[in-house]
Each structure stands twice: as C-alpha cells, then as structure tokens.
C-alpha cells in the first residue's frame, strides 16, 4: 500500500508543478475550448478556456508509474497503453476542433475506428492471458461466467461504451475529474485487497493526478481536460475493470457515467419518435443546470452518488 500512497502523492505534486507551465503554454498556442452553440448559454463565457488539460494527469501517471514500479508487469503496461492510446485519440480530436475553430474534431467513424483498435488490443491481451481468459465475475456472487467466443466483442463494447460515457460526463467544471477520482480510489482499494500491487500503483497515480488537476479544473475552471483527458480516463477505468475480470462493476461504480449516457439516448429517441424532450437538455447535468442548479451543486451531488455506489460496489466483490 505504501507504493500506492507514494504514487498518489508524487502524481499529485507533478500536476501541481506542471500546471503553471502547461496552462500558459496552452493559452500561448491558443488551444482554447470552442463551446457548443446548442449548449447552455451560461457556458458561452467559458469560450477560450484552455483545453487538452488532460495531458497533465496523463504525464503525471506515466512518470509516477515508471518511477515507482520496480518491475512493470504486462497488465500494468497494457493499462498504461490503453490510457495513453485513448488520450492520443482525444488529443487528435481536440487539436482538430481548435484548428477548425468549431466544436467538431474527428469524424464519428474516425474516432470509433481508433477506439475499437485500442479496445481490441486490451481485449485480445486479456483473452490470451491465462490469469484472465474469458471469465468474468458476476457481482454479488462468488461465481464467474465464461463468455467464450463472445468475450472479445463484448469487451470491445464495454471499453468503447465506457470511454464515450466518460466523455459525455465531462461537461461541467470538475465533474468528470471528481467522479473518476472517487472511482479510482475504489479500484485502488479493490486492487490492494486482491494483492494486485501493480494495478494498485496505477490507480494511486491516476487518483493523485486527478486530485492535482482539480486544483485547476474545479469551478471556475482554469483549464478543461478536453477529449484528451476524458477518453484517457474512460480507457483507464475500462482497463482496470477488464484486467480484474470485473467489467460489470463499471455499471455500479460508474452509475453517473451510465445515467449521463442514458439521458442522451432517451432524449434522442423521445425527440425522434414524439418530437418531445424528456429532459430540458441532455446530458443529465445540463438538465439540472436548466433547473437552476449551480455547477458546483451538481458536481457535489454527482460525486456523492458516485461515492455511495462505490460503497455498494464493495459489497459486490468477493476478496
């Protein structure tokens, strides 16, 4: 556990130190956020706020893991590769948005190809790893089921779905970072309980990076994580769940990711079928904004619900 704590502290310090360097650089190169015209009008004042801030906790994660891991396990490597890989997709997406000066980066099919590629790498690794294979844990039981030939396509669906869900959650100052920080702490405790020091170190480093990032991303945000950060976080959470043979746990501890995604799906289906909207605006956090809730209140409540569901998630695991 000591290494996990050291990784958390080191990653936290790294982000605090590089923040005053990275943020001004993003401003100099005019890497400012373009705000969606169809989004809340109150967000228009955020236009120009530096984006791609996710680079800060990705950098701190890489440095902390490489510096403190005496021997990089294959699982640790694949978790790092998945996180950085998805971060790279997000970086390309953010870069194109800035170049085009509009909230449109990679085309949907281009982003999907990249996401599926890294999801396949992770899924094939897990499937061929004798310690993982095609077995997955059933929450609240001691049982595992063998997905057999359905394992790889199902895991690709899990990874791509999770990364896009985290991306949808990243819509308010500090929201995605706060929710994912709590989930990282959950996985840090789980990996420690399962004696997976390698992945526990990874969780600690990511949690520390997010904790430091919140110093700059909490309301009013000095920097946004962008798709660079949100896709990287989705990749990291997916990798942890799959490497621990617990993909279903994401639905429990990542309840905010789930409801944010469902709100968008419900809104789209309802409008196409009935021309009526269920929510004032989707994703769900914008609905509460339209009801008059302040960003900080929404972030606080979503974080509280995440913490509660993480506690419920502990009950689903047999150490």
Q: What are phi and psi of 129, to 5 degrees?
A: -85, 120
Distance CA 318, CA 190 (A): 10
Amino acid 43: pLDDT: 64
Q: Cβ distance 135 to 183 under 8 Å?
A: no
- Start-to-end CA span in the chain (Å): 16
Distance CA 234, CA 225 (A): 13
Q: Report whether 129 belongs to an annotated binding site.
A: no
Nearest-10 Cα torsion for 241, 246, 247, 248: -130
Q: Which of 182, 203, 205, 195 is nearest to 312 (CA)?
A: 182
Distance CA 159, CA 83 (A): 11
| Cα torsion 119, 129, 83, 307: sign | positive
**pTM beyond 0.75, yes or no:** yes
Q: What are phi and psi of 295, to 5 degrees?
A: -50, -45
Distance CA 91, CA 245 (A): 29
Largest CA distance in the chain: 59
Amino acid 37: pLDDT: 57
Identify the three-state secondary structure at position 146.
Answer: strand
Tokens of 157: 């669906």
Identify the three-state secondary structure at position 181.
Answer: helix
Amino acid 97: pLDDT: 84
Counts of helices then strands in the chain (DSSP H, E): 12, 2
Q: Report whether 167 belongs to an annotated binding site.
A: yes
Amino acid 151: pLDDT: 97
Tokens of 273: 């079928």
Count CB atoms within 10 A of the CB of residue 137: 20
Amino acid 98: pLDDT: 83
Q: Which of 118, 316, 139 is nearest to 236 (CA)?
A: 118
Q: So where are the chain's domains?
A: 2-249
Q: What are phi and psi of 136, to 5 degrees?
A: -135, 145
- Mean pLDDT (10-residue bins), the chain, 319 residues: 94 97 89 65 72 96 94 94 97 87 80 96 97 95 95 97 97 97 98 95 98 97 96 98 97 97 96 92 94 96 98 90
């Amino acid at each position: 556990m000591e290494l996990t704590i050291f990784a958390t502290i080191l990653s936290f310090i790294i982000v605090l130190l590089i923040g005053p360097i990275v943020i001004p650089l993003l401003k100099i190169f005019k890497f400012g956020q373009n705000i969606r015209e169809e989004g809340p009008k109150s967000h228009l004042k955020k236009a120009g706020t530096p984006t791609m801030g996710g680079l800060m906790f990705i950098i701190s994660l890489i440095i902390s893991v490489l510096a403190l891991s005496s021997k990089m396990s294959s699982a640790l490597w694949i978790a790092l590769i998945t996180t950085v890989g998805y971060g790279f997709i997000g970086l390309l997406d953010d870069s194109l948005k800035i170049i085009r000066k509009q909230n449109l980066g990679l085309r949907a099919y281009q982003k999907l190809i990249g996401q599926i590629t890294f999801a396949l790498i992770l899924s094939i690794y897990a499937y061929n790893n004798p310690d993982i294979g095609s077995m997955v844990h059933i929450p609240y039981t001691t049982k595992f089921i063998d997905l057999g030939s359905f394992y790889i396509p199902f895991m690709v669906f899990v990874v791509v779905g999770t990364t896009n869900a985290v991306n949808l959650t990243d819509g308010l100052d500090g929201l995605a970072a706060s929710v994912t920080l709590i989930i990282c702490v959950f996985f840090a405790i789980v990996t420690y309980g399962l004696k997976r020091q390698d992945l526990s170190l990874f969780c600690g480093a990511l949690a520390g990076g997010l904790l430091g990032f919140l110093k700059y991303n909490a309301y009013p945000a000095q920097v946004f994580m962008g798709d660079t950060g949100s896709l990287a976080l989705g990749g990291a959470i997916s990798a942890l769940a799959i490497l621990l043979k617990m993909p279903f746990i994401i639905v429990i501890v990542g309840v905010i990711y789930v409801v944010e995604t469902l709100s968008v799906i419900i809104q789209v289906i309802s409008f196409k079928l009935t021309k009526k909207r269920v929510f004032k605006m989707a994703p769900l956090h914008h609905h509460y904004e339209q009801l008059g809730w302040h960003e900080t209140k929404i972030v606080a409540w979503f974080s509280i619900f995440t913490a509660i569901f993480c506690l419920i998630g502990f009950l689903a695991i047999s150490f």
